[in-house]
Amino acid sequence: MNNAIIQLNNITKKFDGEIVLDDITLSVKENEFVTFLGPSGCGKTTTLRIIGGFETPDEGEVYFDGKLINDVPPFKRQLNTVFQKYALFPHLNVFENIAFGLRIKKMDEKTISEKVEKMLELFNLKNYGKRRIDQLSGGQQQRIAIARALVNEPKVLLLDEPLGALDLKLRKEMQHELKAMQKQLGITFIYVTHDQEEALTMSDTIIVMNEGIIQQMGTPIDIYNEPENAFVADFIGESNILDGIMIDDYLVEFLGKRFECLDSGFGRGEEVDVVIRPEDLDLTPAGEGKLEGIVKSVTFKGVHYEMDIVANNFEFLVHSTDMAPVGTTVGLTLTPDDIHIMEKGE
């Protein structure tokens, strides 16, 4: 059973007859930071809840450390969850919230207070033990929710969109804090988010899901650079997706022009999706590029300009540090490794 701590085999789940998870098989290695990424309703939270024990799968097996745990209730599972809206106990103060799990294990008072104090220190909440939950900011509540789970020293920590309610700056900070903590503590993190940037920043492995099906599993770099289908390409970062025809291996035609590419193995004349990242398109003076277009709009985005450029009746999204004013004609160039060929969906 190699070193998989969580293994899901052919998990299927229906709600009111509607399939939310369709034959999910995946495994999570020990000490890995795995992210389930997908739009809302893709089944990522349901998968997490099945691992946590809050939902039972209709079909398939859930293994924890090699043992089948389909029928093990949550309170007997050696994992802890950080809930979406924190779910801190409003009738208990910060200290007692964190101590909750330890008290249930009937630890002695001294051990409890040592462990809780250690957590408070780790999360920069040293003098907050006596505070009421509603006296804390969102970021502090967030950290207490994580502390409350981690103090039990679980083998696996499940996190359900834990940063969703925080503002952008705090979210960025917490992303780094969480990643650092995961490395330091050596605990397996299973993280659910719909934010592709968050997934790319933090994960060792990303599992992209849509409509109850795993679309792609891989490292952030693989997923970004080598998306397996148009959905992944579109969901992970922005993309221009065009209809193309494979002329031969390493040669594709779209927008009436032929381009060299790095893909092979498709049938001759096969219809394919061509994915081009907005940042891979380079602006050149008119007449020098392979494609020629008119700038429709320009938006300043801080680091780069976002431009809509219409070429051969296709509206390209282009990210570039160069800028061409609206209405001008520009050329667009592409190198073979900027072109990603994918099988047509459906």
Partner 1 sequence: MKNRTKYFAYPYVLWIFLFIALPAFLVLLYSITTKESNGLTTIHFTLENFKKFFQPMYLNILWDSIYLAAISTIICLILGYPAALIISRAHVSKRNTLLFLCILPMWMNMLLRTYAWMTILGNNGILNNIFAFLGLPRFNMLYTRGATVMGMVYNFIPFMILPIYTALSKMDKALLEAADDLGADKRTVFRKVIFPLSMPGVISGIIMVFMPAVSTFIIPQLLGGNKSMMIGNLVEKLFILNGDWNFGSAISIVMMLIILLSMSIMNKFDVDKEGGARLW
What residues line the site for partner 1 (CB under 8 A)? 52-54, 73-76, 80-81, 83-85, 87-91, 100-101, 104-105, 134, 148-149, 152
- Which CB sits closer to partner 1, 165 or 242? 165
- Which CB sits closer to partner 1, 52 or 57? 52
- Which CB sits closer to partner 1, 47 or 215? 47
Edge-to-edge strand ranges of the sheet holding 282-285: 282-285, 329-333, 291-300, 305-311, 314-320
Pick from 321, 281, 316, 284: nearest CA to 301? 321
Output the CA torsion sign for 132, 136, 141, 143.
negative
* CB 80, min distance to partner 1, A: 6
- Which CB sits closer to partner 1, 78 or 329? 78
Q: How far apart are CA 339 and CA 242, in angstroms?
A: 11
Residue reference for tokens 């696996």: 156
Q: How far apart are CA 114 and CA 116, in angstroms?
A: 6
The total number of residues shown for the chain amounts to 346
Residues 6+ apart with CB under 8 A from 101: 80, 148, 151, 152
Q: How far apart are CA 31 and CA 185, in angstroms?
A: 9
* CB 149, min distance to partner 1, A: 8
* CB 84, min distance to partner 1, A: 7
- Which CB sits closer to partner 1, 116 or 214? 116
Q: What letter would DSSP give residue 267?
A: P
Output the CA torsion sign for 98, 100, 102, 106.
positive
* CB 104, min distance to partner 1, A: 5
- Which CB sits closer to partner 1, 84 or 284? 84
* CB 141, min distance to partner 1, A: 13
* CB 130, min distance to partner 1, A: 14
